[in-house]
Homo-oligomer: A and B are copies of this chain.
């Protein structure tokens, strides 16, 4: 995951958040879960800094969006307590897996600070950068 790409995704996420009139944190990690870029919008609650990071980490570590992860890592899911591994993961939406055009995993983006629905929408808008 090159910084130029991560930065473009963060810019796209911030632009979408402004359009939706919400304030979020955005984290982009590489395929091995190491951070590449991060931004916190003015006014975002301090607690969501870590949430955006954990959403991105969750997606890339288990190769699925954090929303899908939440269906299995949940008291009613098939792998309850999976959310407590790897230093704590995120069982709700806003972490989106990023794949390169050849299908390989490129990393993940985590957005947090708005409603889960908006967090997901913002992450997906940013993720589209990868396929253009």
- A79 B2 Cβ-Cβ under 8 A: no
The CA-CA distance from A90 to B74 in the complex, in Å, is: 12
- Pick from B33, B49, B80, B116: contact of A35, CB under 8 Å: B49
Copies in the complex: 4
A63-B45 contact, Cβ under 8 Å, with A35-B38, A39-B7, A86-B50: yes
Task: Give the residues in chain B near A88, CB-CB below 8 Å.
Answer: 81, 84-85
The CA-CA distance from A79 to B118 in the complex, in Å, is: 13
A46-B74 contact, Cβ under 8 Å, with A39-B37, A79-B116: no
- B80 A61 Cβ-Cβ under 8 A: no
Q: Nearest-CB distance from A119 to chain B (Å)? A: 10
Nearest to A32 among chain B residues (CB) is B32
Task: Give the residues in chain B near A32, CB-CB below 8 Å.
Answer: 30-34, 46
Interface readout for A58-99 with B: 1 if CB under 8 Å, 0 if not? 101111000000100111101111111110111110000000
Q: Does A129 contact B (CB under 8 A)?
A: no
- Pick from B7, B47, B78, B91: contact of A81, CB under 8 Å: B91
Q: Jot down 15 A-B pairs with beta carbons below 8 A, ordered by A.
A: A3-B14, A3-B41, A33-B46, A36-B39, A36-B40, A37-B38, A38-B38, A47-B62, A47-B89, A48-B62, A75-B76, A80-B91, A81-B89, A82-B92, A85-B90
